[in-house]
Amino acid sequence: MKSSHLAPNAFIRGSRVRAAAAALAWSSAGAALAIGVAVPAHAQQVNASLRGTITAEGGASQVTAVNVNTGLTRTATVSENGVYQIASLPPGTYRLEVTTPSGVRKTDEFQLLVAQNAVLDFDLTAPVTTADTGAADEILITSGRIRSMEGGEVGVNITQREIDTLPQNNRNFLAFADLAPGVQFITGSNGNARLQGGAQDSRTVNVFIDGVGQKDYVLKNGVTGQDSSEGNPFPQSAIGEYKVLSSNYKAEFDQVSSVAITAVTRSGTNEFKGDAFFEYYDESFRTRTPIERDTNAAKTSVQDMQFGASLGGPIIKDKLHFFVTYEGKRIERPIDIFPGNSANNANIPSAVQNEFGSFSRIFNEDLFFGKLSFQPTDRDLIEGSVKVRLESGDGIGSGSNLRDTASNSKVEEYRGTFRWEHSADTWVNDLKLTYEDARWAPTPAVFGPQFAYQDANGVQIYRTGGGSNYQDKGQKGWGIQNDFTWTGAERHTVKAGVKAKWVDLNSLQLNLFNPVYFYNTQYNGAAWNNTQPFRVQFGFDPGLGADPIVQSKNFQLGLYIQDDWQATEQLTLNLGLRWDYDRTPAWVDFVHPAQAVAAVSPANYPNLNNANYNINDYISTGKERKTFTGAFQPRLGFTYMIDEESNFAIFGGYGRSYDRNQFDFIQQETSVGGFSTRTFNFLVPGDTRNNCTPSATCVAWNPIYATPEGRAQLVNSVGPQGGAELRFINNDLKTPYSDQFSLGIRRQFGLLETELGFSHIKSRDGFVWLLGNRRPDGSFFAPTGNQSSPFGNPPPGRGSIILGDNGLETSANSAYVKLTKRYTQSSPWNVTATYTYTDAEENRQFGETFSLDFPSINDYPTLRSAGVARHRLVMAGSVDLPFGIVFSSKLRLETAPYLKGFNNTATGVRIIQGIEGNNQNPFILGDWWAFRQLDVAVTKYVPLKFLSETTKLRLRVDALNILNTYNFNSYNSNPRDVTADANGVFGDIANRGIGGNLTRTIKLSAGISF
């Protein structure tokens, strides 16, 4: 560990260093919550590298890096010019042993961070001997002398100290990623957590654990298991540290176009160390929500228990170590269920009235992780690790859907990694074999019809009956990757790698397995007891050979080469190139059924003759589609040291990074044909809004249509494909990507690091669904009147044409200031503070993959991005206090979101309007912060020496949102609403909802470590 009070090139006696090291070890054990169990392992993306220049009389012959906790060593030869390079070092605590003609010189202990490109120079020309013996028993002090040459990377390192001390609610190690410029960690109203970078969707992120990507190839939110879950992707007690990269990562990183997280897991050490914890809060530990306070209602029952244990140590000292951990969650969360509209609520049946109010939702999670680390020789490291994630719970959230519409959530995930790293004098080879099996499978809690009740304007009042979410999706397969690092050329660290994966992707999606009947509760003055629905929607298997279970044997191949080149004493260049290949047979080899092709033929549907697109560009015979082979991705960066002390640097870079098209999108051509949504309308005399014109899909109501036999009769009346929707994807579908630029300056003042920078990220070719229906003359909009979409003009006897294409684009320009002070024994406090100003734009906002309001994605205007705050300040830090107390806090401030909605001009032209949300929370920095949350935590450590010298009990209190700010996230998003009523006008706070934002909450924790 660094010692900030010692000057560079100073020496102290070995006995003093040993005493200081002993004191540091004792203090570190007291300062950590669960740090002492293990130190990190490593992999290509998470390894640190160390290089520098040694000046010594007679020169130095070699340098050896020694991991003080595991005994792992790496040795490098020193060139005639005094240059040394050591690649692939696990993040952790090290000392160096420098061999000179006069003997071996040792450094004190220092820390290498995850993915750090560190530089450490030595001048040994003026050795100092000990005062009493005159012997050359000196210890070289490294304090304040290590500098990083990270090129154009924009991000932040999250250390063990921060993971274990900063306040948080859910033990998700990613919760501190928002300390990086442009990164948000967002918790939704249902407790689901996700990462978001810049103006891009969360599906564009990737998390690498021990160098292995956790990418979800099928579903959204980037990481397997996180599609709609309040669970954690990995046990926090197994994470050593991680690095957040919001732009300009190196060539090792794949399948990501926004945020890349690279994390390293813990390993056992030469000492047996363990930890156990229990965390708890319930409704008595929180203040009332705005709705509870406004209605003077009792607080909804909530209970949150999190618990776990970990153990690590040696099986054979310096050779074989183990580490295991378990973490569990047992959660009951409050949800609010109320009518979605105030119209006609007085007539809601009394039996349903009891279903409104505040209730609890149950969620359970179990996480397991285990690892063995074996060092059979000084040149070999063999590791094997296994992760298991199991989840279950109630798939229901706040809103107007009653509890019986819930789905039982289920997540199962199994991952395994075997790796062998072999090192030589000038190279390191890292081989990995991986296995993954991830499954997400929500199932309706009730099987039976669902009933949706609406007001006269089509706004839902409530739903009841069987749930509509019935899915089973996931990925399973093997992978092999090899990373080779060569340091044989002076001042060059060359890395090259290859990765191949064989992954089976699968999707079962039975949309509307339970049929939904729609009722207008107010037509013609009718009361709630009407038995006449105006519409039914249900899923149906036509039995024509198409299978709702879609499977695809994906093959992925990635190649990269990276050279970190110290071109001069001041200039370091990071030059990289990556290429990726991702073949999805379910899309490439897909053949559209003859019935679908016939439905859109000119003879059957002449409306497309004058359309603004050619339907033949979307029809596949199995020959038109090719796997994209142009994913070449340059990754370039530089660092230029301005001053001779190497404390002041200019940095910058450019990089292109390709992501992938989610399988959940491109499989729908197949699955929609295998189990498609059918819609039939019913004649309702007197209902001026919903009454339809008689046709094959608009018939008189018959009570038999409330039965499975009746619904089959409806389908048979128009043919097996009658009323079925049609999905077509562009044969020239592109792969989404982003271009990233960065430029900035870094300045180091001892232990304080400052950074001022600018980044520009432009993403292109995001996937989008468009409406392919056209009016008889080929137009999308009617020539006069309101510009409504032509949903009423599908091909005869079929549902709408939905086209899959590219076209979503975002742009984010960010200026930021970042301050970082690392924790040391002599300076026992740390802080990271990041202010980011972001000017972001998009042509569709997050989650709006379906763009059915205009004929082309190019018709959507590019407007300010929704969900990206203009101003954002995140600060977090901790400090050691007397009497074994650690105090920590985190502050997050954001300006209001941008809201967008559709409106029409006086002539009926459809336009999109936007406005900044009207939500200010006065604060000492001004009244323009719409979101404000201050969290604090206090931990007390109690030594239990009667058990052992290192055993400690810890007691902790987390006070989340201690200022009890109501951070509203529910706004009036209707541009047509200009009446200042209870819902406010466009942009005002509506419904007093705060979603997943906490009121003041106290969480109690206890733990023991040894």
In this structure, the answer to whether residues 86 and 172 fall within a common structural domain is: no
249 closest CA partner among 814, 740, 735, 838: 740
At 689-731, the pLDDT tens digits run: 777 878 878 899 999 999 999 998 898 887 777 677 899 999 9
Does a structural domain hold residue 296? yes
Mean pLDDT of the chain, nearest integer: 86
Does a structural domain hold residue 648? yes
Torsion of CA 224, 246, 866, 961, to 10 degrees: 80
Structure token pair of residue 477:
């397969």
Structure token pair of residue 961:
């949102």
- For residues 45 and 495, which has the higher predicted lDDT (pLDDT)? 495
Q: Tell whether the model's pLDDT for residue 130 goes beyond 70.
A: no
Q: For residue 475, give the H/E element and its range.
A: strand 471-486
Q: Tell whether the model's pLDDT for residue 429 goes beyond 80.
A: yes
At 356-379, the pLDDT tens digits run: 887 878 899 999 999 999 999 988
pLDDT of residue 27: 33
Domain boundary among 201, 224, 258: 258
In this structure, the answer to whether residues 94 and 160 fall within a common structural domain is: no
195 closest CA partner among 115, 256, 253: 256
At 791-822, the pLDDT tens digits run: 989 998 788 999 999 999 999 999 999 999 99
Tell how strand 631-641 and strand 535-540 pair up: unpaired
Q: What is the mean pLDDT of residues 963-977?
A: 86
Q: Tell whether the model's pLDDT for residue 573 goes beyond 80.
A: yes
Structure token pair of residue 901:
């909605």
Does a structural domain hold residue 977? yes
Given pLDDT bands bounded at 50, 70 and 90, which one contains residue 509?
A: confident
Domain boundary among 235, 258, 281: 258
pLDDT of residue 149: 72
Structure token pair of residue 891:
């502050």
CA atoms within 13 A on the CB side of 745: 5
> Residue 489 contacts by C-beta under 8 Å, 6 or more apart in sequence?
none
Buried residues in 772-797 as b, exposed as e (16+ CB within 10 A): bbbbeeebbbeeeeebebbeebbbeb
At 15-63, the pLDDT tens digits run: 333 333 333 233 333 333 233 334 333 344 677 888 888 888 878 888 8
Report the DSSP beta bridge partners of residue 894: 872, 931
* DSSP letter string, 548-568: SEEEEEEEEEEEEEEEEEE-S
In this structure, the answer to whether residues 412 and 552 fall within a common structural domain is: yes
At 233-283, the pLDDT tens digits run: 999 999 999 999 999 999 999 999 999 999 999 999 999 999 999 999 999
- Find where tokens 């009497």 sit: 883
C-alpha 142/C-alpha 111 separation (Å) is: 10
Does a structural domain hold residue 830? yes
Given pLDDT bands bounded at 50, 70 and 90, which one contains residue 7?
A: very low
Compute and round to an integer the Cα radius of gyration of the chain.
31
Residue type, 880: D
Given pLDDT bands bounded at 50, 70 and 90, which one contains residue 441?
A: very high
- Find where tokens 């093959």 sit: 555
- Find where tokens 């790698």 sit: 497
Domain boundary among 100, 132, 164: 132
Given pLDDT bands bounded at 50, 70 and 90, which one contains residue 136?
A: very low
C-alpha 975/C-alpha 987 separation (Å) is: 8
3-class secondary structure for 106-162? Answer: EECCEEECCCCEEECCEECCCCCCCCCCCCCCEEECCCCCCEECCCCCEEEEECHHH
> Residue 844 contacts by C-beta under 8 Å, 6 or more apart in sequence?
768, 808, 851, 857, 860
In this structure, the answer to whether residues 313 and 248 fall within a common structural domain is: no
Q: Tell whether the model's pLDDT for residue 125 goes beyond 80.
A: no
Does a structural domain hold residue 225? yes
> Residue 425 contacts by C-beta under 8 Å, 6 or more apart in sequence?
75, 76, 77
> Residue 783 contacts by C-beta under 8 Å, 6 or more apart in sequence?
none
In this structure, the answer to whether residues 808 and 898 fall within a common structural domain is: yes
Q: Tell whether the model's pLDDT for residue 829 goes beyond 50.
A: yes
pLDDT of residue 612: 95
In this structure, the answer to whether residues 303 and 356 fall within a common structural domain is: yes
- Angstrom CA distances, 886 to 877, 936, 942, stand at 11, 11, 12
- Angstrom CA distances, 643 to 2, 83, 151, 640, 827, stand at 22, 20, 17, 9, 26
In this structure, the answer to whether residues 184 and 45 fall within a common structural domain is: no
pLDDT of residue 523: 64
pLDDT of residue 142: 67
Given pLDDT bands bounded at 50, 70 and 90, which one contains residue 749?
A: confident
In this structure, the answer to whether residues 224 and 343 fall within a common structural domain is: no
In this structure, the answer to whether residues 121 and 167 fall within a common structural domain is: no
Query: Helices H, strands E: what count in the chain?
Result: 9, 54
Torsion of CA 98, 100, 102, 105, to 10 degrees: -10
pLDDT of residue 349: 79
pLDDT of residue 105: 84
Given pLDDT bands bounded at 50, 70 and 90, which one contains residue 862?
A: very high
Q: Mapping DSSP to helix (H, G, I), strand (E, B) and coil, where does residue 284 land?
A: helix
pLDDT of residue 346: 67
- For residues 320 and 946, which has the higher predicted lDDT (pLDDT)? 320
Given pLDDT bands bounded at 50, 70 and 90, which one contains residue 878?
A: very high
Does a structural domain hold residue 264? no
Given pLDDT bands bounded at 50, 70 and 90, which one contains residue 8?
A: very low
Residue type, 608: L
pLDDT of residue 545: 58
Given pLDDT bands bounded at 50, 70 and 90, which one contains residue 143?
A: low
pLDDT of residue 399: 82
Structure token pair of residue 864:
């300010």
C-alpha 530/C-alpha 520 separation (Å) is: 9
Report for 355-359, 402-406, 575-579, 685-689: range of highest mean pLDDT: 575-579
Structure token pair of residue 75:
């040795």
Given pLDDT bands bounded at 50, 70 and 90, which one contains residue 926?
A: low
Does a structural domain hold residue 140? no
- Find where tokens 């001053």 sit: 643
C-alpha 931/C-alpha 681 separation (Å) is: 45
- What phi, psi does 21 have (nearest 5°)? -65, -40
User: How many domains, the chain?
Assistant: 3
At 451-479, the pLDDT tens digits run: 998 887 778 888 999 998 899 999 999 99
Domain span at residue 74?
A: 11-132
Other C-beta atoms lying within 10 Å of the C-beta of residue 911: 12
3-class secondary structure for 357-398? Answer: EEEEEEEEEEEEEEEEEECCCCCEEEEEEEEEEEEEEEECCC
Does a structural domain hold residue 146? no
- Find where tokens 């200081």 sit: 20
| CATH code of the domain covering residue 72 | 2.60.40.1120
* DSSP letter string, 925-947: TBS--SEEEEEEEEEEEEE-TTT
In this structure, the answer to whether residues 301 and 387 fall within a common structural domain is: yes
425 closest CA partner among 380, 488, 474: 488
Residue type, 506: N
Q: Is the dihedral of CA 335, 340, 343, 349 positive or negative?
A: negative
pLDDT of residue 1009: 94
| CATH code of the domain covering residue 185 | 2.170.130
pLDDT of residue 572: 92
CB 120 within 8 A of CB 145: yes
In this structure, the answer to whether residues 680 and 749 fall within a common structural domain is: yes
| CATH code of the domain covering residue 994 | 2.40.170.20
973 closest CA partner among 913, 920, 899, 919: 899
In this structure, the answer to whether residues 222 and 297 fall within a common structural domain is: no
